[in-house]
Structure 1
Amino acid sequence: MELRHLVSFLAIAEELHFGRAAASLHLAQPSLSQHLRRLERAVGVELVARNSHEVRLTPAGEAFLDLARDIVARVDQAGKAARAAATGSAGTLRIGYNFPAGQRVLPGALTALDSRRPAVDVEMFEMRTGPQLAALADGKLDVAMVYGRPNSTTLRSRRLLRVPLVAIVGEKHRWAGRQRVPFGELADESCVLFNRAQSAAMYDTILSAAQSSGIQLTIADEVDDPGATAILTAIKPIVGFASAARGAFGGSPGSPRTTSVALYDPVPMLDLYAVWADGQNPLVDAFLACLPGTPT
């Protein structure tokens, strides 16, 4: 069964006249008749009855009509959707992001995208850097917003902003109430970190700052979920690490409260990047046009 045969059948059903139906499709009448015969062979029943006086649909043709219209309409819609996606004017964009990107980058970028491409749907997933890059490699994300520039020849990136890291402590911790502490004071504290695969750039920045301070961190716990880290620091005398944006958040209502303390000498800093696969994707291009920075 071919689409052109369905279109020919619909024209016949509309006109109930082979000559007018052929003219509406810019076909010769023998070609139209051939399309109908081939469709009827494919379906296995007679769809149109005709004699010298009239053309009419058979009961089978009447039953076939609405579904045939639906099939042709859906094919037309599919074509329009494909053309819209090819130009970046419609489709679904899957974006991964971390907390600072969600607070400082995405709101403005998505507002601009919606004003320029209102037919584009966006799916968002908050994840650490490692899981985002894995999802990007698996084709589950179109854009990742992560710490650090990936060392990959198949990925492109754009630096968006710099993010300072802060210490996170509970309200009863001896640092609570202090505005800032030198990084070297962490020598006397127990810390909670995460598996390096979760965010290699953040992990390495913390350890590099410790090395610059001439200290070695005491890692008491390893927790991969930022929310769980906040809970641990709220109930234990340990120090966690977070972006300044997450540290200022302080936790959701009803959860154990934490406070952030700025670190200096050195100030641990991270670069936040937008990352995407090298290749043509008009939806990604449309989103990138809404972001600050220059591709690298």
Structure 2
Amino acid sequence: MEFRHLRSFLALTEELHFGRAAAKLHLTQPSLSQQLQRLERKLSVTLLERTSHEVRLTPAGEVFRDHARVIVQRMDGAAQAAREAAAGRHGTVRVGYNFSAWQMILPKVLARMHERHPRITVKLSEMRSGVAQAALAAGELDLVFGHGRPTAAGLRHRRMMEVPIVALVGAGHPWARLPRVDFADLAGQRCILFAREQNPAMYDAILTAADRRGIRLDVAHHVDDLNATALVVATQPVVAFVSRHRGEHAAAGGLGSVAVPFTAPAPAVDLHVVWRPGQGPSPTRALLGCLDEMSVLQGSTGQAR
């Protein structure tokens, strides 16, 4: 059974007139009649009854019409999906992101992505920047929004914005009533830090700031979970380090923590988008294109090509 015969049969069921159906298909009437005859021979049934006055479907023709429509629609959908996949407009892009990207980048970009490429699924996973980049290098993610340049070879990246680091303290901490503090005032304060592999860029920025001020951090706890960090801060007289965006969110969350900025020069980290390079169109490149359209990027250290 040839697919073109199904299309010809469906045109006849819509027009119920050989002349109009032939014109619609850009065929001659004899050619259309031959296609119908071949289809009927293949099925061993009569699909259409034709008289000098009318063309009408047989009961078998009515049943076959409904099934033929489904087949043609699915074939058309498959062809469209193949074309969109070839053009990078179909598929899934797996994205790892941190809190700053969630607040400042993703809402607008994902809205544009849905508008431009509705057939691309964006699978989102919030995670610490170091963990996300490791997952990207291992092939578990396609694109990452996180702090710092990529640490693995072969990855491409673009700088998007600078993110200040702030102190997170409990509401009862002496710093909670201050508009800002000097980083050097951390001398003598008990701190919470995280394992470097969780966020190498932020970890290094914090220790570099301490070295420049000639102080050594008194690390009372190592806590990798950010929600647990907020809880410890709210219940103990310690200082944690978070991005400004997460600090403001934690302070508004009602857990009893306060985000306190550092005086200039305050430590900061760069937010980057990082991806594995690939050849040709892809869902990843489609998302990068949406980033370009939204004019989100403030600097560039790589190309989407």
TM-score over 0.5 for the pair: yes
Measured against aligned partners, the alpha-carbon deviations of 1:111-145 in whole angstroms (never above 9, x if no partner) come to 7x38xx83445855543213433554577755432
Give the secondary structure class of the aligned counterpart of 1:159: strand
If each structure's strand is expressed as a fraction of its own residues, which one has the higher value? 1
Deviates more, 1:266-275 or 1:67-76: 67-76
Measured against aligned partners, the alpha-carbon deviations of 1:1-45 in whole angstroms (never above 9, x if no partner) come to 65433212212322445565344323454476357636874xx56
Q: Does 1:104 align with 2:104?
A: yes
* Alignment partner, residue 130 of structure 1: 130
* Alignment partner, residue 34 of structure 2: 33
Give the secondary structure class of the aligned counterpart of 2:173: coil
1:180 and 1:20, CA in 2 relative to 1: closer, same or farther beyond 3 A?
A: closer
1:289 equivalent among 266, 269, 293 = 293
Q: State the 1:233 CA deviation.
A: 0.5
Measured against aligned partners, the alpha-carbon deviations of 1:89-123 in whole angstroms (never above 9, x if no partner) come to 89877654322233334456567x38xx8344585
1:63, 1:183 → 2: CA distance? Answer: 79
2:183, 2:62 → 1: CA distance? Answer: 80
Q: Which amino acid is the alignment partner of residue 61 of structure 1?
A: G
* Alignment partner, residue 179 of structure 2: 179
Q: State the 1:236 CA deviation.
A: 1.4
1:40 and 1:241, CA in 2 relative to 1: closer, same or farther beyond 3 A?
A: farther
CA contact (8 A) 1:148 1:273 kept: yes
CA contact (8 A) 2:155 2:277 kept: yes
1:141 and 1:9, CA in 2 relative to 1: closer, same or farther beyond 3 A?
A: farther
Aligned 1:45-56 pairs, distance under 5 A: 46=45, 48-50=47-49, 56=56
Measured against aligned partners, the alpha-carbon deviations of 1:174-216 in whole angstroms (never above 9, x if no partner) come to 3322333343443423322223332221122222323334444
TM-score normalised by the chain length of structure 2: 0.74
2:46, 2:198 → 1: CA distance? Answer: 62
Measured against aligned partners, the alpha-carbon deviations of 1:218-251 in whole angstroms (never above 9, x if no partner) come to 4333333322211110011221111123223343
Unaligned ranges ≥5, structure 2: none
Structure 1 vs Structure 2 CA RMSD:
3.8
1:95, 1:105 → 2: CA distance? Answer: 13
* Identical residues among aligned pairs (%): 46
Aligned residues between the structures: 290
Unaligned ranges ≥5, structure 1: none
Give the secondary structure class of the aligned counterpart of 2:247: helix
2:39, 2:202 → 1: CA distance? Answer: 65
1:5 and 1:138, CA in 2 relative to 1: closer, same or farther beyond 3 A?
A: farther
1:102, 1:208 → 2: CA distance? Answer: 27
1:5 and 1:198, CA in 2 relative to 1: closer, same or farther beyond 3 A?
A: farther
TM-score normalised by the chain length of structure 1: 0.76
CA contact (8 A) 1:89 1:283 kept: no
* Alignment partner, residue 240 of structure 2: 240
CA contact (8 A) 1:160 1:273 kept: yes
Give the secondary structure class of the aligned counterpart of 1:118: helix
1:247, 1:153 → 2: CA distance? Answer: 32
Aligned 1:166-245 pairs, distance under 5 A: 166-245=166-245
2:141, 2:93 → 1: CA distance? Answer: 8
* Alignment partner, residue 115 of structure 2: 118
Q: Which amino acid is the alignment partner of residue 290 of structure 2?
A: A
